[in-house]
A and B are shown apart, each in its own frame.
Chain A
Amino acid sequence: MTGDGTTASLLVIGGTSDIGRAAALAYAQTGRRIMLAARDAETARRNADDIAARTGVPVSLHALDLLDTDRFEAFVDDLPMLPDTVLCVVGELGEQRRAESDIGHAQRIMRVNFEGPALILGIFAERFVARGTGTLIGVGSVAGDRGRASNYVYGAAKAGFSAFLSGLRNRLSASGVRVITVKPGFVRTRMTEGMKLPPVLTAEPEEVGHAILEAERGGSDVVYVRRVWRGVMTVIRMIPEPLFKRLKL
């Protein structure tokens, strides 16, 4: 509940992703009202019904295409209310090899992972500042901590998103609006289906969902879902570039 007695609300951008679904459920279990924004209406409807049936909380659906930036202002205006928390959990790995020669594919990866998420959170930031409260949560990626041969187009987009969140957090630190960056590491989802992932470094979507909820409840700014990742990425960032460039990562 918020201070004025109404139920607090969460908007999930990327409501059809496995992490978005898990996070929405974790929030709904605390009584939050849920809004799911997604492009794939059928899966969004299934997730909304699932959360409502499990928890009894109302879940509404809102169509959103992250490539259609011209529609962003109208999307925010059309929401039934300005949410208390916005979680952006959009992620599209794409195909690195294809992105190296197919400019359209590379552009899509950049737009979906950086441009769309940054622009829409920027709109919510302005509205939250005007209201004086609100929490913005962006799901970044450890892939953005250092560019690597195997996924640097995606990694660069995620790095851009991380920098955007970091700057926003810096700017809004005294405003009453919180900005949180969550870095899940490997997660067993559709995106990583078929990949061989090391168990110690790999989280289930439910674990990430709860970590997001806990990040908002606690005071963290940047959260690695599995703490081991903070160490792993610190080491990876510290490798000198002359050596790093010769590694196969």
Chain B
Amino acid sequence: MTALSGWGRWPRHESELVVPRNARRLTELQTSARGIVARGNGRAYGDAAVGERITLSTQGLDRFRSFDPETGRLTVEAGVLLSDVIDVFLPQGFFPPVVPGTKFVTIGGMIAADVHGKNHHRSGAFGDHVERLSLALPDGRVVECGRGHEPGLFAATFGGMGLTGTILDATFRLMPVETGWLRRRVIVADDLEDAMDALAGAAGATYSVAWIDCLAKGEALGRSLVQAADHAGEHELGERERAAGLFPAAPRGRLAVPFELPTGVINRASVAAFNELYFRKGAADAETPRLVPWDPFFFPLDGIGHWNRIYGRRGFLQHQCVVPTRTARAALADILERISARGRPSFLAVLKQFGPGRRSLSFPLEGFTLALDLPVDEGVDALLAEIDTVVARAGGRLYLAKDSRQSRDTFEAGYPDLPAFRELRRAIDPDGRIASRLSGRLGL
């Protein structure tokens, strides 16, 4: 038994971690056990990838299966890391259709959480690009799923957090890119209204996202830097970019946080300084489009290994909600006021506009999503409970990949397809073999 947690390092639960070497062994383990769930690279923040009794690592399923350079169609086993896909195919002129905020996730994990990126308003979630997958069911069957084959199971697997069976491999299409550079424009938004308008105005850009200064109050509430970016063409590169490479490599020998910092290092002062720095640095080169390399643009925190340790031993909470467009302005203002009024430090506060969502437990819905990053301390539960109430009243929901604490009421209010998901679970897993800490907590 090991004490396992998600990337947020809290909560920790005892679970036996096993690493099957191939799909056959994985299937055998899954059918002989109870209270088991798959785990990719452990980047879900909460308890989604911690089995009630056994946790099935997909680390051994790390093979690429096939690639067609004509179509960009790639088939990989579920434990392949996104960073591996980028390392291999970016130099060949291909980039994944959707990437989340870290490249250290497995493809299986990206499907299970139906991750989104800065291009959701244009490209949807990762699941929108998956053409087929194979799924190991709790009864030992391995089923091939696609739009024309087991479509119900296929759809429920996106956002299903590994609870519809364990994903063994999947096929999706990479998109052609001319370079590994992005043309990025930064728009300074003076308040929340401005930020939301800027995001809507940047909807023509492939990628858009706003970094919010969480400590700005009053008239400046929601003050943000809005980034809008597109993949740059080869002809746009200057001497500096060409010298760095058409497809610049992700920096190696990265900074790492070697140990847990004392709890409290992330206090009001350091977050204010960080936000101020970020705001000024962004403001300085605002409006002028600049070419930036792919890695720091998509994965700014991947440059700091073990960055989850900066929050100290007590860990941290990620909170990500989405609220529908019609209620978004009022709800987001309410949430930001509550945060800034308490002076509650949030290292990261990211706002993003979503396009139309999918069904089942997939997180995105048409509206605005706000991601917060908070150290665990007294009062954090009460604050987040208040925020949850605002979200639920606005018709919004929370992201399961980042959740370790929401109430069943919030969850059930947020996901109207939940009864159908529960029914599907009962049909494919009548003995309840697949069970994570998350599924137990939320009654999935």
Contacts and interface: CB of A to CB of B under 8 A. Distances in A.
A53 B66 contact: yes
Nearest to B85: A54
Q: Which of A42, A47, A49 has the most CB of B within 10 A?
A: A49
B34 interface: no
Q: Dominant SS at the B interface?
A: strand
Contacts of A47: 63
10 contacts: A43-B21, A46-B63, A49-B64, A50-B64, A52-B66, A53-B64, A53-B66, A53-B67, A53-B75, A54-B67
A46 B69 CA distance: 19
B22 A43 contact: yes
Contacts of A190: 21
Interface residues of A, number: 11
A54 B64 contact: yes
A56 interface: yes
B108 to A, nearest CB: 16
A50 B76 CA distance: 8
Nearest to B65: A49
Given A46-B22, A53-B75, A56-B69, 15 more contacts: A42-B22, A42-B24, A43-B21, A46-B63, A46-B65, A47-B63, A49-B64, A49-B66, A50-B63, A53-B65, A53-B66, A54-B64, A54-B67, A54-B88, A56-B67
Interface string B32-75: 00000000000000000000000000000001111101000011
A50 B65 contact: yes
A217 to B, nearest CB: 21
Please classify the interface of chain A as helix (H, G, I), strand (E, B), loop, or mixed, using the class held by over half of its residues: helix
Task: Report which residue of B64, B77, B88 has the largest number of chain A beta carbons within 10 angstroms of its beta carbon.
Answer: B64
Q: Which 9 A-B pairs have the closest CB atoms?
A: A53-B64, A50-B63, A53-B67, A46-B63, A50-B64, A54-B88, A53-B66, A49-B65, A54-B64
A190 B22 CA distance: 13
Contacts of B76: 53
B170 to A, nearest CB: 13
Nearest to A47: B63
Contacts of A54: 64, 67, 88
Interface residues of B, number: 14
A238 to B, nearest CB: 36
A56 B67 CA distance: 8
Contacts of A53: 64-67, 74-76
A53 B75 CA distance: 9
B217 to A, nearest CB: 48
Contacts of B65: 46, 49-50, 53
Nearest to B87: A54
A43 B64 CA distance: 12
Interface in A43-81: 43, 46-47, 49-50, 52-54, 56
A46 B169 CA distance: 12
Nearest to B84: A54
Contacts of A42: 22, 24
Contacts of B22: 42-43, 46
B173 to A, nearest CB: 14
A199 to B, nearest CB: 14
B24 to A, nearest CB: 8
A50 B64 CA distance: 4
A54 B66 CA distance: 8
A50 B84 CA distance: 12
A50 B88 CA distance: 11
Interface in B75-112: 75-77, 88
A88 to B, nearest CB: 22
A52 B64 CA distance: 9
Contacts of B63: 46-47, 49-50
A49 B64 CA distance: 7
Interface in A27-51: 42-43, 46-47, 49-50
Nearest to B62: A50
Contacts of B67: 53-54, 56
Contacts of A49: 63-66
Interface string A187-198: 000100000000
A119 B29 CA distance: 39
A42 B21 CA distance: 11
Contacts of A50: 63-65
A220 to B, nearest CB: 25
Interface in B10-29: 21-22, 24
A43 B63 CA distance: 10
A83 B75 CA distance: 30
B5 to A, nearest CB: 22
A49 B88 CA distance: 14
Contacts of B24: 42
B127 to A, nearest CB: 22
A135 B67 CA distance: 31
A45 to B, nearest CB: 10
